[in-house]
Amino acid sequence: MTDALIIGGGPAGLMAAEVLSASGFSVEIADSMPTVGRKLLMAGKSGLNLTKAEAKPEFQAAFGNAEVALSPMLSAFGPENVVGWVEELGRDVFTGSTGRVFPKEMKASPLLRAWLERLTNQGVTIKTRWQWTGWDGDVATFDTPNGSQGIAAKATVLATGGASWKRLGSNGRWIEHLANDVAPFKPANMGFALDWSDHMTPHHGSAVKGVKLTAGNATSRGEFIISGKGIEGGGVYMVSAAVRDGAKLTLDLLPDVSAREITAKLAAPKGKQSLANTLRKTLKLDPVKRALLNELGRGLDLPLAEKIKALPFPALTARLIDEAISTAGGVRFDALTDDLMLKSREGVFCAGEMLDWEAPTGGYLITGCLATGRWAGRAAARYLQTS
């Protein structure tokens, strides 16, 4: 029998394993994929955004409805702690102009290698291609390359991920084992489907920069991408939860210019200059912004300045959950103790994306996984010490 079993080899599971093994306990990690950290490696392909250098109130507010539940964990392991932990692994970091923190190599693989080396040195055993199938009494059961196998453990940390990116291991299949403790999954940080007219075809793949998106109380100044399917990218992800839950999305093409200033510029004499040239020369709208103004503003009985400041998108449909960066839903906090132990199963703790929380991209997701993994690992260590 092992002291601690970690099911799931993503950031939350690896962090729980680090804490438990550092406390002197024997630890086994079981992961369904051929290697651990698959989603972390994918995130690093475009630059591994580890956290965000931001004041605690603003950082924690990004976790929305889960802010209160996660506050103790994020206070114990927030952005500064993430940076210190990465540096202890021998990797340097830098902070970008928006406060986002990255490893200097940008990619995830050097950090993951250093982390796995630490875990190996602490005696952690990793089993891959082990798909969790539930429990047989107190024994966790798995489908493995060598058939059905079981692991008996004194404490277990579940860090099985959400329900997006199935090909990286986050398939949500574990829900059948915890159904009474789970809120339904919903896509988070996702794009939206939109049927563009042929007029927009030349702009598919274009980035829309220097704008503001608004949905309910959520706003974003980040850029987004026009795709053949609709809209996606960081700027959209920041407001995606509000849009998913029914808020209307509007686009401000000139967020740093007031409607009054726009009206004055449009009213100034321009000789024989066409409207298209006025938009280009006087208002400095680039081709993709002019295309959006035409596409979304066509048929609106509003002054041009008002259209530019609040272009309404039509009804939007969230992209499929497996295409989302992350998910909302999962194990409810009211099904857990303050230590993240399941009330329905003593000695079993939960961490990471499988918990019912969501946050925008920009460093919040990885920090949330690390913080909850550490919290569950420390709680499991205390449980082992007293049981």
Query: What is the model's pLDDT at position 231?
Result: 97
Q: Give the mean model confidence (pLDDT) for residues 5-28.
A: 98
pLDDT class of 272 with cuts at 50, 70, 90: low
Residues whose CB falls within 8 Å of the CB of residue 246, separated by 6 or more in sequence, listed in order: none
Give yes or no for residue 270 having a pLDDT over 70: no
pLDDT in tens, 244-253: 999 999 999 9
Q: Give the mean model confidence (pLDDT) for residues 191-211.
A: 96
Boundaries of every domain in the chain? 2-186+326-386, 192-318
376 and 349 Cβ atoms separated by less than 8 Å: yes
149 and 142 Cβ atoms separated by less than 8 Å: yes
Q: Determine the topology of domain 2-186+326-386 in CATH.
A: FAD/NAD(P)-binding domain (3.50.50)
Least confident of 24-28, 119-123, 316-320: 316-320
Q: The whole model's pTM is what?
A: 0.92
Distance CA 176, CA 58 (A): 36
Q: Give the mean model confidence (pLDDT) for residues 47-65.
A: 95
250 and 310 Cβ atoms separated by less than 8 Å: yes
Give yes or no for residue 44 having a pLDDT over 90: no
pLDDT in tens, 130-155: 999 999 999 999 999 999 999 999 99
Residue with tokens 């919903």: 186
pLDDT class of 265 with cuts at 50, 70, 90: confident
- 323-326-332-333 Cα dihedral, nearest 10 degrees: 180
Give yes or no for residue 233 having a pLDDT over 80: yes
Give yes or no for residue 52 having a pLDDT over 80: yes
Distance CA 177, CA 199 (A): 49
More confident residue, 168 or 382: 382
Query: How crowded is residue 380: how many other Cβ atoms within 10 Å of its Cβ?
Result: 32
